[in-house]
Structure 1
């Protein structure tokens, strides 16, 4: 884990803080991590809702009940969807 020992104080309006907090939450990040990534030139992606991953988990369950070939095909598609949703390749 990195040691962060230096703080940076920035004044913002209540509305600006609300917006930044909302954007961080959408990305699944703390406000500090969101601002750190933005300041360093990264553009954090949005974080899909939990329900999306619940559906993908259900697809995995369905794949387990299928024939090996069909199950493998469904599993591969579910994995591709996961990668797209969380920024994989």
Structure 2
């Protein structure tokens, strides 16, 4: 069932407006979606920088290569487990 949207109007100071624009842009959200999430009790998080995704891609590649090495050197699986935990920790922080 589609919920009917209600238009609201709010007056902000120039400083408040700039802060809303800045915070919503950091999160990669429109101002409307940013406010909706706040109303639902969700604190939007800033989008990670591109370098974060590059690092994650490299970790996935290393993990994949080590899994292949695990066929010949079982100790590589221990390093894989450490990388998996690192990825989970990074995802939780971001």
TM-score (norm 1): 0.73
Confirm or deny that 1:81 pairs with 2:89. yes
- 1:34-74 Cα offsets, whole Å, 9 max, x none, are 11121233222222112111101111112222223156325
Which one has the largest radius of gyration? Answer: 2
Q: Cα 1:71–1:64, aligned 2, differ >3 Å: closer, same or farther?
A: farther
Q: Counterpart in 2 of 1:18?
A: 18
- How far off is 1:29 after superposition? 1.7
Which runs of 5 or more residues in structure 2 are unaligned?
71-76
- 1:11-53 Cα offsets, whole Å, 9 max, x none, are 1122211111111122222111111121233222222112111
Pairs aligned (count) = 86
Q: Counterpart in 1 of 2:60?
A: 60
State the 4+ residue runs in structure 1 displaced beyond 6 angstroms: none
Superposition CA RMSD, Å? 2.4
